[in-house]
Amino acid sequence: MKRIVVIPGDGIGREVMDAAMLVLEELDLPFDYIWMDAGDDAEKRYGKALPDETLEEAKKNDAVLFGAAGETAADVIVKLRFELETFANIRPAKSFPGVKCLYDDVDMIIVRENTECLYKGLEYEVDGVTIATRIITRKASERIIRYSFELARKEGRKRVTALHKANVMRKTCGLFRDIFRGVASEYPDIESNDYYIDAACMYMVTNPQHFDVVVTTNMFGDIVSDLAAGLVGGLGLAPSANIGERHAIFEPVHGAAFDIAGKGIANPTAMILTATMMLRHFGYIEEAKKIERAVEAVLAEGKTTPDLGGKLKTMEMAEEIARRL
Ligand code: NAI
Ligand code: MG
């Protein structure tokens, strides 16, 4: 029996979590769900966005399934990733047949370093001068870069591309680039190249087919993963997994989306595909494929929420997916 800590959080996090649960419950999985609070509402209620009990449960169980937090996201999900040392944030961006988007042939996996960089939160203010410290270490860089090459091998991918800005941030990005080139030389079976992050953003829009596995530092990874999601139909379709040596956190790329929260129109696909990433992590490959096929069928038939031009509500789309299981 796997024990999963479920944290719906704020805004559409709760709506898409209910939808994912409806789909998961169609399958006979040996999972125990432990529902816990975190986020803006939790902060109002308990005085802490990530209550101690939630963090404790997250630490002692097998995985966390997370919806979204609102303005407290840095204190909740960023903190959870650090606390659970889930160093690799895996964010696939893939076109789905039938979904209207910029490209119908994108299939990349962004591997984002998850434990350091500017998101460490080391910010200070002195007399109107604000300072942020960017931490990039040899240890974390080598770990994430190696992870991306191993992932490329495991998934039968042909190329790993690193994104950095080593011409300006010579020390921090310079270290990341140099380690990338060194590790790449140990994987002659996998093509490799590296780009400056700004040019890479253009290439990603003009020629996204070039990108296969992409590895980068924390903040760049946050930004380019939303960009990549935009290429294939938006955040409603983008799942992610945070993987560490002992822990794993599964969460969609999107946030609480307060602009649509409460209307029941959030696309549940990102959250449902996030759940399939959890199933794959635990070795339930056939079950994951079953859900993925059902999602693809529903998307191809245009039975979607308004973000993709459909008319369905969040739960109606989830029911369409569940029905096909
Ligand atoms: P967001 O990711 O919540 O939304 C960006 C845009 O994408 C919005 O227009 C939204 O309606 C749309 N969108 C997102 N998910 C969607 C879905 N499933 N279906 C249809 N449309 C979807 O980012 P935003 O608006 O910048 O932030 C909103 C709140 O979420 C903020 O308080 C922010 O701090 C928080 N946030 C939390 C994250 C997390 O918990 N991991 C990540 C990003 C933002
Ligand atoms: Mg983000």
**DSSP of 212-257, one letter per residue?**
SEEEE-HHHHHHHHHHHHHHTT-GGG---EEE-SS-EEE--S----
Ligand 1 midpoint to CA 278 (Å): 21
Q: What is the CA radius of gyration of the chain?
A: 19
Q: pLDDT band at residue 20, thresholds of 50, 70 and 90?
A: very high
Ligand 1 midpoint to CA 266 (Å): 10
Q: What single DSSP character describes residue 261?
A: T
| Model-wide pTM > 0.85 | yes
Question: Which residue puts its alpha carbon closest to atom 31 of ligand 1?
Answer: 70
User: Which among 71, 79, 254 is the best mutation to test ligand 1's pocket, defined by most ligand atoms within 8 Å of the CB?
Assistant: 254
pLDDT at 151: 97
Ligand 1 midpoint to CA 42 (Å): 18
Identify the CA nearest to 195 among candidates 179, 209, 211: 211
Q: pLDDT band at residue 273, thresholds of 50, 70 and 90?
A: very high
The three-class DSSP label of residue 203 is helix
Q: How far is CA 97 from CA 10, 101, 103, 154, in A?
A: 31, 10, 10, 25
pLDDT at 73: 96
User: CB under 6 Å to ligand 1: residues?
Assistant: 12, 16, 68-71, 73, 77, 235-236, 251, 254-260, 266-267, 270, 307
Domain-by-domain residue ranges, the chain?
1-87+238-325, 102-231
Going by CATH, does the domain composed of 102-231 fall within 3.40.50.300? no
- Dihedral of the alpha carbons of 7, 27, 254, 121, in degrees to the nearest 10: 40
Name the CATH superfamily, with its identifier, for domain 1-87+238-325.
Answer: Isopropylmalate Dehydrogenase (3.40.718.10)
Q: How many CB atoms lie within 10 A of CB 198?
A: 11
The pLDDT tens digits for 249-259 are 999 999 999 99
User: Which ranges of the chain does DSSP label H, i.e. alpha helix?
Assistant: 12-24, 40-46, 52-60, 73, 79-83, 138-154, 172-184, 197-206, 218-231, 269-281, 285-300, 314-323
pLDDT at 303: 97
- Residues linked to residue 2 through DSSP beta bridges, in sequence order: 31
Judge whether 270 and 239 are in contact, CB under 8 Å: yes
Q: State the amino acid at position 85 in one-letter form.
A: E
Report the DSSP pairing between strands 63-68 and 2-9. parallel
Long-range contacts of 150-154 (CB under 8 A, 24+ apart): 151/90, 151/109, 151/111, 151/213, 152/187, 152/190, 152/212, 152/213, 153/187, 153/189, 153/190
The pLDDT tens digits for 87-145 are 999 999 999 999 999 999 999 999 999 999 999 999 999 999 999 999 999 999 999 99
Question: Which residue puts its alpha carbon closest to atom 11 of ligand 1?
Answer: 257
pLDDT at 186: 98
pLDDT at 307: 96
User: Which ranges of 25-165 does DSSP label H, i.e. alpha helix?
Assistant: 40-46, 52-60, 73, 79-83, 138-154
CA–CA gap between residue 173 and residue 170 (Å, rounded)? 6
- Work out the burial of residue 171: count CB atoms within 10 Å of its CB; fewer than 13 is exposed, 13-18 middle, 19 or more buried: exposed
The three-class DSSP label of residue 92 is strand
DSSP 271-293: HHHHHHHHHHHTT-HHHHHHHHH
Residue range 67-71: mean pLDDT, rounded? 98
Atom of ligand 1 nearest to the CA of 40: 32
The pLDDT tens digits for 137-191 are 999 999 999 999 999 999 999 999 999 999 999 999 999 999 999 999 999 999 9
Q: pLDDT band at residue 24, thresholds of 50, 70 and 90?
A: very high
Ligand 1 midpoint to CA 302 (Å): 23
The pLDDT tens digits for 201-250 are 999 999 999 999 999 999 999 999 999 999 999 999 999 999 999 999 99
Q: What single DSSP character describes residue 145?
A: H
CA–CA gap between residue 105 and residue 237 (Å, rounded)? 15
